[in-house]
């Protein structure tokens, strides 16, 4: 028997960093899945974000929705370039009034978890990552920042120091934390001193055909930004002389095009249909970035493609490494984020003809555990448990209005 809808409150708010056409990654897919779940339970949430450029856009899943925004919405280029206001974002998120909600859910990779809530409101936050460039990846970020190298380094360091303080403080205000991977949960424990329950994000595995014929092309697909380390992949395949196709766009594209040898092809941004076709036909999917979860490798496995990826971060949750002798292996993990380590992994994959030993049907079967239905079922169960526990705490507090229990010695 399905749980009664009355188990959850009527007034629910769902907060995210921003809703813009420029940002449609994994975090937005999680928000969309949570919103669909709540709407299906007849609990359409009040949406909130720093800025909203989607509700007025025809064809968007948010078209016509009422979204509460922060003062950044009214600033010049606030909607299209919200991140340029980084020093103001902690203050801005705290200006969104969600006091009418009994339950607040935030989807956070920067400041969304910082929305203000009262003691009688339950705040559950799904955390995609603590702010990477404010914590463990700060030095790498600064080394690649043209602004930091042009004399603004001390100012940027001070701003990131202030962001770390607010980030840690605001995390203490959340009642229940969910992390998208074990790696993110460890970072939450390290930086915020909080325990987080792991719930992997949803992946639309049904998009992909897993039983198509394979060719000899290796595929790398992601946004072309520095931390994805596509440069390592390009350099490795230059050295190997094997065919590599790179799909995606971003600020690194021009540098990667200059770096690419004769066997490397950069296709830029491609249609969804072309991406699905490439995933379903490539010999293997190659990924060198340190990811908090990494949806693209799971999509590749949904298409029956083995993954050759960095053996750190979220990929430890999603890729079963053939070198460890695991049953139902789904790829190969290399230990170091370096050209040499990746070259060794691909060479072993080629020499041992590993792609012939890994069964596409089994790879797809492993990817099935990340399907949206699994995410929604676990998220709903977690939400109900958290709400029940919150109601119990509120009932205890209401039964002791004078706070006498706190005065007992």
Average pLDDT over residues 113-117: 98
172-197 residue pLDDT tens: 999 999 999 999 999 999 999 999 99
Asked if pLDDT for residue 1 goes beyond 80, the answer is no
Q: Identify the band that residue 400 occupies on the pLDDT scale cut at 50, 70 and 90.
A: confident
Joined together, the tokens standing for residue 222 give 């992601």
Average pLDDT over residues 295-318: 97
Task: Report percent pLDDT > 90 for the chain.
Answer: 85
207-247 residue pLDDT tens: 999 999 999 999 999 999 888 999 999 999 999 999 999 99
Average pLDDT over residues 2-30: 83
User: What span, in angstroms and rounded, lies between the C-alpha atoms of 225 and 243?
Assistant: 22
Per-residue model confidence (pLDDT) at position 403? 57
Per-residue model confidence (pLDDT) at position 4? 47
Other Cβ atoms closer than 10 A to 361: 10
Per-residue model confidence (pLDDT) at position 3? 46
Domains in the chain and their CATH numbers?
Answer: 5-202+372-407 (3.40.50.2000), 205-369 (3.40.50.2000)
User: What span, in angstroms and rounded, lies between the C-alpha atoms of 50 and 68?
Assistant: 8
Average pLDDT over residues 137-150: 85
Joined together, the tokens standing for residue 213 give 């014929």
69, 42 Cβ separation under 8 angstroms: no
Per-residue model confidence (pLDDT) at position 323? 84
146-164 residue pLDDT tens: 888 888 889 999 999 999 9
Per-residue model confidence (pLDDT) at position 407? 46
| Average pLDDT value for the chain | 93
Asked if pLDDT for residue 116 goes beyond 90, the answer is yes
DSSP label of 321: B
Per-residue model confidence (pLDDT) at position 146? 82
94-114 residue pLDDT tens: 999 999 999 999 999 999 999
Average pLDDT over residues 114-123: 97
Per-residue model confidence (pLDDT) at position 5? 47
Q: Identify the band that residue 402 occupies on the pLDDT scale cut at 50, 70 and 90.
A: low
What's the first-to-final CA gap in the chain, in angstroms? 46
Higher-pLDDT residue of 33 and 7 is 33
User: What span, in angstroms and rounded, lies between the C-alpha atoms of 186 and 195?
Assistant: 8
207, 150 Cβ separation under 8 angstroms: no
Q: Identify the band that residue 398 occupies on the pLDDT scale cut at 50, 70 and 90.
A: confident
Average pLDDT over residues 21-32: 86
The residue whose two tokens read 């280029």 is 77
Per-residue model confidence (pLDDT) at position 169? 98
């Amino acid at each position: 028997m399905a749980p009664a809808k009355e188990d959850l409150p009527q007034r629910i708010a769902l907060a995210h960093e921003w809703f813009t056409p420029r940002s449609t990654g994994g975090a937005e897919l999680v928000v969309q899945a949570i919103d669909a779940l709540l709407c299906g339970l007849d609990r359409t949430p009040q949406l909130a974000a720093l800025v909203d450029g989607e509700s007025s856009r025809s064809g968007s899943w948010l078209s016509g929705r009422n979204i509460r925004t922060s003062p950044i919405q009214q600033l010049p280029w606030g909607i299209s370039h919200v991140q340029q206001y980084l020093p103001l974002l902690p203050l801005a998120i705290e200006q969104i009034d969600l006091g009418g909600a009994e339950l607040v859910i935030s989807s956070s990779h920067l400041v969304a978890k910082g929305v203000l809530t009262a003691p009688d409101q339950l705040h559950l936050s799904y955390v995609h990552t603590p702010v990477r460039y404010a914590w463990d990846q700060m030095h790498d970020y600064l080394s690649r920042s043209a602004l930091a190298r042009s004399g603004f380094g001390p100012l940027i360091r001070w701003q990131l120091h202030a962001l770390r303080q607010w980030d840690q403080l605001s995390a203490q205000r959340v009642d229940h934390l969910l992390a998208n991977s074990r790696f993110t949960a460890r970072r939450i424990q390290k930086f915020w001193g909080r325990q987080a329950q792991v719930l992997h994000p949803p992946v639309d595995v049904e998009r992909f055909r897993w039983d198509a014929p394979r060719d000899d092309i290796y595929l790398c697909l992601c946004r072309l930004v520095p931390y994805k380390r596509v440069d390592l992949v390009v350099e490795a395949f230059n050295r190997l002389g094997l065919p590599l196709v790179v799909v995606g766009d971003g600020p690194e594209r021009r540098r990667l095009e200059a770096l690419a040898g004769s066997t490397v092809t950069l296709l830029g941004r491609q249609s969804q249909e072309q991406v699905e076709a490439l995933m379903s036909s490539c010999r293997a999917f190659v990924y060198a970035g340190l990811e908090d979860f990494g949806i693209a490798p799971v999509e590749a496995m949904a298409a029956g493609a083995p993954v050759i990826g960095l053996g750190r971060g979220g990929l430890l949750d999603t890729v079963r490494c053939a070198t460890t002798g695991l049953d139902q292996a789904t790829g190969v993990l290399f230990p170091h984020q370096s050209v040499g380590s990746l070259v060794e992994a691909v060479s072993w994959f080629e020499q041992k003809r590993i792609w012939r030993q890994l069964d596409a049907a089994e790879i797809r079967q492993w990817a099935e555990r990340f399907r949206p239905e699994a995410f929604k079922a676990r998220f709903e169960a977690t939400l109900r448990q958290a709400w029940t526990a919150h109601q119990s705490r509120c009932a205890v507090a209401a039964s002791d209005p004078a706070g006498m229990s706190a005065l007992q010695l």
